[in-house]
Amino acid sequence: MIYPKPIVGQPVGFVPANRRDKPQDLVVTKVGRKYFECGRHNVFHLDSWRERSDYATAGRAYLDQAQHADAVERQKYWDALQRAVRDERRAPSGVSVDAMRRAAAILNIKFEKPE
């Protein structure tokens, strides 16, 4: 995903890595070459909008709460799809080869065609 460069004064939504903390609405106060800041304690990478952190998990900034809700929903669908196909040994009945080709194209899955 390509993240737009924020502008000073732009409102952004922040979702902390710790699920006990509530999402916050912040305002961009400074934009640099690699990072942007929202106040003194919230610094984010420009390329990923992830919070700069010395720990493995970091919070994330979003353009708005709707973008965050879309990201959460997208991940839930992806997790459900993974669970549904992870333990299957054969293709599900009723699903055509053409449908599987379209799904592979959408998911950018590359494979060699059988001869």
Q: Among candidates 15, 41, 13, which has minimal Cα distance to 26?
A: 13
The Cα–Cα gap between 115 and 13 comes to 51
DSSP 33: S
The Cα–Cα gap between 27 and 9 comes to 6
What pLDDT band is residue 114 in, cutting at 50, 70 and 90? low
Q: pLDDT of 68-88, one tens digit each? A: 788 888 889 888 888 888 877
Q: How are beta strands 24-27 and 11-15 bridged, if at all?
A: antiparallel
DSSP 32: -
Distance, first Cα to last Cα, the chain: 36
The pLDDT score that the predictor gives to residue 115 is 66
pLDDT score of 19 more than 90: no
User: Phi and psi dihedrals of 45, rounded to 5?
Assistant: -70, 135
What pLDDT band is residue 40 in, cutting at 50, 70 and 90? confident
Place of tokens 């961009």: 28
Q: What is the pTM of this model?
A: 0.61
The Cα–Cα gap between 13 and 8 comes to 14
